[in-house]
C-alpha cells in the first residue's frame, strides 16, 4: 500500500510517498481502508523533533482516521466489512493514519455519523477527544460554570467551545479579532483579542481553563480563576515548572494531559455531531501525496479548524 513516511527528522521536505506492506489485523482488531486522515499539531512537531515516540524514523505519522472496515481479526464482533467508522489510533505510539490502510483495536473506532462525510469525520477524533477528556473527564465541567479556552479557533479550541456549550457552560475564548465572528457562531459567549488585550487583565471568576498554548499562559491564566477551579494544560513540552506550585497556593487544581483512545467519549462526540451540536471546521483538504504541503500549512499556526488529507484508492 501507499503511505507517507520519513527516514529522518526534519522539515516537511522529509515526507515521502512510499510503498509498504498492507497491515494485517490481529485479534480484536479491524483493518480500515482510510478515506481521510486528519492532521494535528503533534504531527508536524513529531515529524520535526520526534515528539513522544520512543523510536526514531522511519515511521508513518497520523492518528486521525475515517474510513471503511475491510477485514476483521479473530474475535472482533463490533463491525462488519463495509461499515463506515472513525476514530483515533492510540497516541502516541500507534500512529500510521497517513496511509491507505490502518489496523487498530475495534474499540478505538465508532460508527461514522451519517450526516457528515469522511473528510469532516477525519478532522474530529484527536482534537475532540482531547477537548472532551480535558473538560468533561478531568475538569468535570458543569452547566453554569465559566470556562476559558485559549486558541479557541484552533483545532482543539473550536471543538472545545462547542463541547463546553453542550455542557451548559459560559464560554470565554482567546482568538484574533478576525476569528471572533466564527467563534460566536459556535456559541462563544465572550471573546478576547489576545493581540490587543491581555486576557489576564479582563477575564475573571473562571472555573475551568483549557490551555492549548503553554509557556506563560498557565501562570497568567491563574489570575483569571476562582479558588477551587481547574486548569488543564495540553502542551507538556512547554509547561511552566512552577505552575502547579503557584496553582496550589491559590487553591487551584493544575493538570497536564495527553489524549487517549476512548470509545465511550467517541460515542458521546458522535452523538453531538448527529444532533447538530458539534461541527468541525475544515481549513483545507489536500490529497495524501501533498502531505508535505499540508504540514507547511499547519505550521503557519494561522488556520481556523482542521487540515485533512484525502486518500484516493
- Domain ranges, ordered by start, for the chain: 2-124+280-310, 127-256
| Domain made up of 2-124+280-310: CATH architecture | Alpha-Beta Complex (3.90)
Pairing of strands 16-19, 2-6: antiparallel
Cα–Cα distance for residue pair 200/220, rounded to 1 Å:
6
Region at 285 (left for phi over 0; alpha for psi -120 to 50; beta for the rest): beta
Cα torsion angle, 185, 188, 191, 194, sign: negative
pLDDT, tens only, 43-72: 999 999 998 998 899 999 999 999 999 999
CA dist list (Å): 184 to 4, 123, 128, 147, 286? 37, 21, 19, 15, 28
Instruction: Give pLDDT tens digits along the chain (313 positions).
Output: 999 999 999 999 999 999 999 999 999 999 999 999 999 999 999 999 998 998 899 999 999 999 999 999 999 999 999 999 999 999 999 999 999 999 999 999 999 999 999 999 999 999 999 999 999 999 999 999 999 999 999 999 999 999 999 999 999 999 999 999 999 999 999 999 999 999 999 999 999 999 999 989 999 999 999 999 999 999 887 677 778 888 999 999 999 999 999 999 999 999 999 999 999 999 999 999 999 999 999 999 888 999 999 999 8
**pLDDT tens by residue, 234-247:** 988 767 777 888 89
At residue 194, φ and ψ (nearest 5 deg) are -65, -20
C-alpha cell of 117? 462525510
Residue 303: the pLDDT is: 87
- The angle, 0 to 180 degrees and rounded to 10, between the axes of the packed helices 125-132 and 263-274 is 100
Superfamily of domain 127-256: NAD(P)-binding Rossmann-like Domain (3.40.50.720)
In the chain, DSSP assigns E strands to 2-6, 16-19, 29-38, 59-60, 64-72, 84-88, 101-105, 109-111, 146-149, 170-174, 190-192, 206-211, 225-233, 253-256, 282-287, 306-310
> In angstroms, rounded to a whole number, what is the distance separating the alpha carbons of residues 109 and 121?
11
Amino acid at each position: 500500500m501507499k503511505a507517507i513516511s520519513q527516514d529522518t527528522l526534519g522539515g516537511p521536505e522529509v515526507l515521502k510517498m512510499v510503498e509498504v506492506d498492507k497491515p494485517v489485523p490481529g485479534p480484536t482488531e479491524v483493518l480500515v481502508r482510510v478515506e481521510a486522515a486528519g492532521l494535528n499539531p503533534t504531527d508536524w512537531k513529531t515529524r520535526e523533533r520526534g515528539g513522544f515516540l520512543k523510536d526514531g524514523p522511519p515511521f508513518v505519522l497520523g492518528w486521525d482516521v475515517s474510513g471503511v472496515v475491510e477485514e476483521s481479526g479473530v474475535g472482533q464482533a463490533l463491525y462488519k466489512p463495509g461499515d463506515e467508522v472513525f476514530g483515533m489510533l492510540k497516541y502516541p505510539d500507534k500512529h500510521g493514519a497517513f496511509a491507505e490502510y490502518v489496523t487498530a483495536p475495534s474499540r478505538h473506532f465508532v460508527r461514522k455519523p451519517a450526516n457528515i462525510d469522511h473528510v469532516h469525520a477525519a478532522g474530529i477524533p484527536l482534537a475532540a477527544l482531547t477537548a472532551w477528556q480535558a473538560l468533561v473527564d478531568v475538569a468535570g465541567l458543569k452547566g453554569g460554570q465559566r470556562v476559558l479556552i485559549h486558541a479557541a479557533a484552533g483545532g482543539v479550541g473550536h471543538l472545545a467551545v462547542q463541547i463546553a456549550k453542550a455542557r451548559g457552560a459560559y464560554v470565554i475564548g482567546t482568538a484574533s479579532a478576525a476569528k471572533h465572528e466564527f467563534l460566536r457562531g459556535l456559541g462563544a459567549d465572550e471573546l478576547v483579542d489576545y493581540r490587543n488585550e491581555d486576557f489576564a487583565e479582563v477575564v475573571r471568576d473562571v472555573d475551568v481553563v483549557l490551555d492549548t498554548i503553554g509557556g506563560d499562559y498557565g501562570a497568567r491564566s491563574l489570575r483569571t480563576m476562582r479558588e477551587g477551579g481547574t486548569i488543564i494544560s495540553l502542551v507538556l513540552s512547554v509547561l511552566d515548572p512552577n505552575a502547579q506550585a503557584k496553582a496550589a497556593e491559590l487553591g487551584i487544581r493544575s493538570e497536564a494531559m495527553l489524549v487517549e483512545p476512548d470509545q465511550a467519549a467517541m460515542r458521546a462526540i458522535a452523538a453531538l455531531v448527529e444532533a447538530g451540536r458539534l461541527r468541525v471546521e475544515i481549513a483545507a483538504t489536500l490529497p495524501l501525496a501533498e502531505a508535505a504541503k499540508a504540514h507547511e500549512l499547519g505550521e503557519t499556526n494561522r488556520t481556523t479548524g482542521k487540515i485533512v488529507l484525502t486518500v484516493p484508492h
